[in-house]
């Protein structure tokens, strides 16, 4: 089974590597830029996004002001509520949280079982300190999303807002993303939701969700631009219970 996965990833890798939207758009259109203290925009290299924790630790130390990638909670609220049946008593994981305000807004809207993870220790410490008094039930953990420490079937929902895009900018992107999505599947409960919000159109993303050891029901939604004017995409994946065998 692992050999089959490796063959699939290797065969698909060249195609996806050429079509990494966050890398192309960051370099060509200023996507992923972040306001500086003076209000001007500081361009970032898209390729740097996938270079690992050292890049992100430096970035968050230099500019700790929270930054929202792609869509904020107000723009995603209706989509999320529809997907989960407007329930608030769920265990939710935000993978690659960075210093996004997404889960702060969710917490204030009644969600309490929220765990945030990121591979940047700096981001995790900053956000934990920021929320310690106002949102004491929310958790912040430094963790690699491709090798999570959670037991199987720990969460009802996994949220990804451009983490997959970031991985697409790095080396061995297909292998890394394949490991990541398998981990998401592992920690999701049966019928649990994986919501990935991405720069990438279906032609550059859907095949990631079709690995030989994955079992999801997929729905795609186009999210029209608002603030930046750019179109983004939501991939809603529900874990199909009982169809995935343990790795040998």
Determine the straight-line distance between the first and last CA of the chain, rounded to whole angstroms: 7
**Measured distance CA(93)–CA(155) in Å, rounded:** 7
Per-residue pLDDT, 140: 98
**Measured distance CA(84)–CA(74) in Å, rounded:** 16
Closest CA to 64 of 135, 130, 154: 130
Angle at which helices 121-131 and 53-62 pack, to 10 degrees?
A: 40
Closest CA to 106 of 93, 125, 120, 119: 93
Which residue shows structure tokens 């900018």? Answer: 169
Per-residue pLDDT, 226: 63
Is 192 within 8 Å of 156 (Cβ atoms)?
yes
Residue ranges of E strands in the chain: 34-35, 41-42, 91-95, 113-118, 139-142, 155-161, 188-198, 216-223, 232-239
Per-residue pLDDT, 47: 52
Number of neighbouring beta carbons within 10 Å of residue 105: 16
| Tens of pLDDT, residue by residue, the chain (248 residues) | 444 444 333 333 333 433 444 444 443 333 443 433 333 333 344 456 656 788 889 999 998 898 898 999 999 999 999 999 999 999 999 999 999 999 999 999 999 999 999 999 999 999 999 999 999 999 999 999 999 999 999 999 999 999 999 999 888 889 999 999 999 999 999 999 999 999 999 999 999 999 889 999 999 999 987 655 789 999 999 999 876 544 44
Per-residue pLDDT, 67: 87
Number of neighbouring beta carbons within 10 Å of residue 28: 9
> Residue 152: exposed, middle, or buried by beta-carbon count in 10 A (0-12, 13-18, 19+)?
exposed
Per-residue pLDDT, 56: 86
Per-residue pLDDT, 172: 87
Is 25 within 8 Å of 32 (Cβ atoms)?
yes
pTM metric for this prediction: 0.81
User: Which residues are 232's β-sheet partners?
Assistant: 223
Is 102 within 8 Å of 68 (Cβ atoms)?
yes
Number of neighbouring beta carbons within 10 Å of residue 127: 26
DSSP character at residue 132: T
């Amino acid at each position: 089974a692992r050999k089959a996965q490796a063959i699939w990833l290797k065969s698909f890798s060249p195609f996806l590597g050429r079509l990494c939207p966050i890398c192309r758009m960051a370099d060509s259109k200023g996507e992923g830029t972040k306001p500086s203290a003076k209000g001007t925009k500081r361009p970032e290299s898209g390729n740097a996004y996938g270079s690992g924790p050292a890049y992100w630790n430096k970035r968050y130390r230099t500019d700790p002001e929270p930054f929202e990638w792609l869509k904020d909670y107000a723009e995603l609220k209706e989509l999320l509520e529809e997907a989960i049946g407007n329930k608030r008593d769920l265990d939710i994981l935000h993978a690659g949280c960075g210093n996004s305000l997404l889960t702060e807004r969710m917490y204030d809207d009644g969600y309490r079982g929220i765990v945030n993870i990121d591979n940047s220790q700096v981001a995790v410490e900053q956000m934990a300190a920021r929320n310690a008094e106002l949102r004491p039930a929310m958790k912040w953990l430094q963790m690699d999303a491709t090798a999570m420490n959670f037991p199987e079937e720990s969460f009802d929902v996994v949220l990804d807002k451009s983490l997959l895009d970031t991985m697409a900018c790095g080396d061995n992107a297909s292998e890394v993303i394949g490991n990541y999505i398998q981990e998401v599947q592992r920690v999701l409960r049966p019928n649990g939701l994986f919501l990935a919000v991405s720069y990438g159109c279906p032609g550059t993303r859907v095949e990631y969700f079709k690995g030989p050891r994955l079992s999801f029901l997929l729905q795609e939604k186009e999210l029209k631009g608002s603030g930046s004017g750019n179109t983004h995409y939501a991939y809603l994946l529900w874990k199909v219970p009982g169809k995935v065998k343990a790795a040998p």
